[in-house]
Amino acid sequence: MDTLKTKITQLSENPTFRIFFIMLFVWAVGSFSIIIFESGNIDTIGDAIWWTIVTITTVGYGDFFPLSLPGRILAVIIMFFGIGLISVLTGSISSIFTTKKIMEGRGLENLKLKNHIVICGWNSNVEKVLSNIAKLSSEGEDVKIAMINDMGEDQMNGIIARFKSDTLKIHFVRGDHALEAILNKACIEHAKSAIIISDDTVENDDDKTILTVLTIKNKLPNLKVVAHVSQQDKLPYLKRAKADEVIVNDTYESFMAATHVLEPGVPQAVNQLLDLHSAHRFKSMAIPDSYIGKTFSDITTYFKDNQNSLCIGLFIENENVGFGDFLSSESDALDAFIERKLKEAGHSLSEENKVDVFLNPDNNHIIQRGQGAIVIP
């Protein structure tokens, strides 16, 4: 009952509703009054309602019109009311849509999304991430992205316009992504995954990434969270915060630099395998149900014969994988804080969602249900 009263109060305070209510009142009074003033001319309630609507909207078809002086005075009053009310109502409705558009452009609107990707933070690599997602989305299902950062309105709208396509839709929320209220604006509870990216130009921004992972996992323990950090020494903390995957900024670059010198050909092959525009990039593919229980040798033959692809390994996304081994024996203040927060939320430190990858398994390895294949076309 209290909820109903609250909704009625909120509705009565809405300017658009008030204008609409006044129009209904004028329509009702005008309809009954014209029957009284124009007896013999406008006799039925249907004709009266029709005449009043036509007069309020100033359409004036002329099929019915008042003949008496009181009727004409009433018509003039209704016309003036109609001109004013229609103008105000049109302006009010336009204002609602305009305000909503401005709020969306400034990243202040609550989004209404489902099965989307939330990208928190910004650095020089985010545009590459968006470019890769755009390429992948063009090959498959539509992708919706909610970005959370403190970027300027013009800059963010420029990025949205640049990557917008029929299969990729980007939305923007301005604010601190470590705050639950801001994450809620991005509809984090209905997201399918989240990517948290540290700003490598801001000192200690990796700490904010850790806090964001904690905030999300505390609220949504089953949501897949990928963290991108600048410093290798933050990796243990992110594991304790239960990030599903962690990417360290300089790991790939240092590997490529070393192999360019010591193992020529390897970095070129890696670049080709990771290039989204390459016909021979890594791909994950589903294994047909008919091959469950068969060997890795069988599935290798299947992909070679049917899709002209080389199967190099298997992957499986596990739940409830042991996590306690990541904790250090000598807990510091941050360890204790993470452990306390997870326990307050009722989450066990012994559980973690994780993707296990098996490269080049034994030919007699038995394919299990839930496993997928990693292939090179």
- The answer to whether 121 and 196 have CB atoms below 8 angstroms apart is yes
**Confidence bin at 277 (pLDDT 50/70/90):** confident
- Largest interatomic CA distance in the chain: 104
Alpha-carbon distances, residue 348 vs 22, 323, 332, 337 (angstroms): 58, 9, 19, 14
pLDDT tops 70 at residue 286: yes
Query: Which is it for the CA torsion 175, 178, 179, 180, positive or negative?
Result: positive
pLDDT tops 90 at residue 288: yes
- Give the span between the Cα atoms of 228 and 122, in whole angstroms: 11
pLDDT tops 60 at residue 345: no
Query: What residue has token string 């903390």?
Result: 237
Domain boundaries, the chain: 13-105, 108-249, 282-377
Q: What is the pLDDT of residues 89-143, one digit of tens each?
A: 777 777 766 666 666 655 567 788 888 999 998 887 788 788 777 776 666 667 8
- The answer to whether 88 and 26 have CB atoms below 8 angstroms apart is no
- The answer to whether 56 and 86 have CB atoms below 8 angstroms apart is yes
Q: What is the pLDDT of residues 188-211, one digit of tens each?
A: 999 988 989 888 777 778 888 899
**pLDDT (mean) for 347-354:** 50
pLDDT tops 90 at residue 292: yes
Same fold, 13-105 and 108-249: no
**pLDDT (mean) for 53-59:** 80
For 130, the 3-state DSSP assignment is helix
pLDDT tops 50 at residue 330: no
- Give the span between the Cα atoms of 113 and 140, in whole angstroms: 19
Which pLDDT belongs to residue 297?
93
Compute the radius of gyration of the chain from its Cα atoms: 31
Q: What is the pLDDT of residues 149-175, one digit of tens each?
A: 887 777 777 887 777 777 788 888 888
Domain 108-249 in CATH 3.40.50.720? The answer is yes
pLDDT tops 60 at residue 322: no
For 177, the 3-state DSSP assignment is coil
E-strand ranges in the chain read 117-120, 143-149, 168-174, 193-197, 224-229, 245-248, 283-286, 310-318, 354-359, 372-376
Query: Which amino acid, one-letter code, is at 166?
Result: D
- The answer to whether 146 and 153 have CB atoms below 8 angstroms apart is no
pLDDT tops 90 at residue 11: no
Domain 13-105 in CATH 1.10.287.70? The answer is yes
φ/ψ of 199, rounded to 5, equals -85, 110
- The answer to whether 278 and 272 have CB atoms below 8 angstroms apart is yes
* pTM over the 0.75 mark: no
Query: Which amino acid, one-letter code, is at 216?
Result: I
Which pLDDT belongs to residue 300?
93
